[in-house]
């Protein structure tokens, strides 16, 4: 075989390479937010949650990035698995063909994912939306449900399992693994509740640290947080989640870096339905409103347009994805509109950019 033929053969082999496959591990919650014994409807006793998570989850040493994904409204367990696998599979593929675009990932990008699944299906109606909204609130409200406690334990377990942070003080650890939070719709509310719950505990609170110095009393580091199309009122961070952020006179705030939130005017779930259910549109439709910290707004970028770190390094980053999260004509007329239309290369590009800047 000539050298030209060998080169052609290698190129053909690269073209035939199958798409990247990421197989998430599942953690299931019931209607009260209680952790379930795998394969059953039996809740794990509260005192045994940490033990069950340790038995159920094994973070592989080869993983570079650990993701916790929480889904939203109208998502079956199988669909939640597909959504997380699809997002991260696109990210792996994109990083493989455009390595130079993500210099922080030069030593490799091998994601491992935990999907938190909860009963979120209802009739596609105003009543159905309100029912799942109320369930999401009750599941994560301290004193009512256990979702925030269970996810808080999950974050603490993953942090302990990946090792204590080392230099650089905030963004890395001894095993070189990074932790990222990803939510969709009501899943973003779960994650915010969980982070606040963890922050209220004596130790083990999550910290996002980019330009901000590390807090040695709180070594936990969640290296990025993204919520696609969050189903929550626009002012929720001032009204409910103000303790997520560092502020003058506030110590021990768990988020010390970017919380990235996408929105699209084609999202009917957080536009039409949220407006009727709560009297105002949601973040997934209109972005955040009043907040206790600085916000920065930008557009969702195509894969060929990098995100400089200064674009993402803000307490809250609002990303207008209306140009991409549009759905087709039928989707736009559907009850939820483009609420779940975030499975795009541009979303993978955003996740990769955050992972790269985390290094």
Look at residue 216 in the predicted model and tell me its pLDDT.
47
For the CA atoms of 198, 203, 208, 209, the dihedral, rounded to the nearest 10 degrees, stands at 170
- Return all residues near 158 (Cβ < 8 A) that are at least 6 apart: 57, 59, 66, 68, 114, 179
Predicted structure pTM score: 0.85
Which range has highest mean pLDDT (193-202, 278-287, 341-350)?
341-350
Q: Are 158 and 113 in contact (CB under 8 A)?
A: no
The distance of Cα 1 from the centroid of its chain, to the nearest Å, equals: 49
* Spatial distance between the Cα atoms of 112 and 110, rounded to a whole number of angstroms: 7
What residue spans of 229-273 are helical by DSSP H? Answer: 236-239
pLDDT tens readout for residues 190-199: 888 877 766 6
**Domains in the chain: boundaries:** 19-358
Look at residue 18 in the predicted model and tell me its pLDDT.
55
Picking from 35-39, 90-94, 218-222, 276-280, which range would have the lowest pLDDT averaged per residue?
A: 218-222
DSSP assignment string, 73-111? TT--HHHHHHHHHHHHHHHHHHHHH-GGG-GGGTT---E
Q: Which two tokens stand for residue 2?
A: 């000539």
C-alpha atoms less than 13 angstroms from C-alpha of 194 in its C-beta half-sphere: 30
Phi-psi region of 327 (alpha: psi -120 to 50; beta: other; left: phi over 0): left
* Spatial distance between the Cα atoms of 158 and 124, rounded to a whole number of angstroms: 35
How large a percentage of the chain has pLDDT more than 90?
A: 39
Q: Which two tokens stand for residue 176?
A: 């070189």
The distance of Cα 294 from the centroid of its chain, to the nearest Å, equals: 21
Q: Which residue has the tokens 């491992």?
A: 112
* Spatial distance between the Cα atoms of 153 and 151, rounded to a whole number of angstroms: 5
Look at residue 46 in the predicted model and tell me its pLDDT.
82
Picking from 66-70, 159-163, 302-306, which range would have the lowest pLDDT averaged per residue?
A: 159-163
Phi-psi region of 61 (alpha: psi -120 to 50; beta: other; left: phi over 0): alpha
Picking from 49-63, 164-178, 341-355, which range would have the lowest pLDDT averaged per residue?
A: 164-178
* Spatial distance between the Cα atoms of 275 and 23, rounded to a whole number of angstroms: 36
């Amino acid at each position: 075989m000539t050298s030209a033929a060998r080169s052609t053969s290698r190129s053909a082999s690269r073209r035939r390479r199958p798409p990247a496959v990421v197989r998430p591990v599942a953690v299931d919650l019931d209607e009260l937010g209680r952790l379930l014994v795998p394969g059953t409807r039996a809740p794990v006793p509260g005192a045994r949650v940490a033990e069950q998570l340790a038995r159920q989850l094994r973070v592989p040493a080869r993983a570079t990035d650990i993701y916790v994904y929480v889904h939203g409204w109208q998502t079956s367990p199988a669909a939640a698995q597909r959504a997380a696998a699809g997002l991260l599979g696109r990210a792996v593929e994109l990083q493989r063909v455009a390595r130079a675009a993500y210099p922080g990932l030069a030593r490799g990008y091998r994601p491992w994912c935990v999907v938190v699944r909860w009963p979120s299906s209802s009739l596609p109606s105003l009543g159905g939306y309100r029912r799942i909204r109320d369930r999401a609130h009750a599941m994560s409200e301290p004193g009512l449900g256990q979702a925030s406690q269970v996810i808080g334990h999950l974050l603490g377990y993953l942090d302990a399992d990946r090792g204590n942070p080392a230099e650089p003080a905030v963004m890395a650890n001894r095993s070189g693994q990074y932790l990222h939070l990803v939510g969709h719709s009501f899943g973003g509310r779960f994650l915010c509740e969980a982070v606040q719950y963890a922050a209220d505990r004596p130790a083990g609170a999550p910290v996002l640290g980019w330009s901000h110095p590390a807090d040695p009393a709180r070594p936990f580091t969640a290296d990025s947080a993204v919520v696609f199309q969050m189903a929550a009122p626009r002012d929720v961070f001032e009204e409910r989640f103000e303790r997520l952020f560092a502020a003058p006179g506030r110590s021990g705030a768990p988020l010390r870096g970017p919380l990235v939130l996408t929105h699209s005017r084609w999202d009917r779930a957080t536009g039409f339905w949220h407006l009727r259910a709560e009297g105002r549109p949601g973040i997934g439709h209109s972005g955040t409103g009043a907040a206790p910290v600085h916000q920065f707004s930008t557009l969702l970028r195509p894969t060929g347009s990098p995100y400089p770190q200064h674009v993402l390094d803000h307490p809250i980053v609002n990303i207008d994805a209306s140009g991409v999260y549009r759905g087709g004509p039928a989707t736009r007329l559907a009850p939820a509109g483009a609420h779940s239309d975030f499975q795009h290369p541009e979303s993978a590009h955003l996740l990769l950019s955050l992972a790269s800047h985390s290094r």
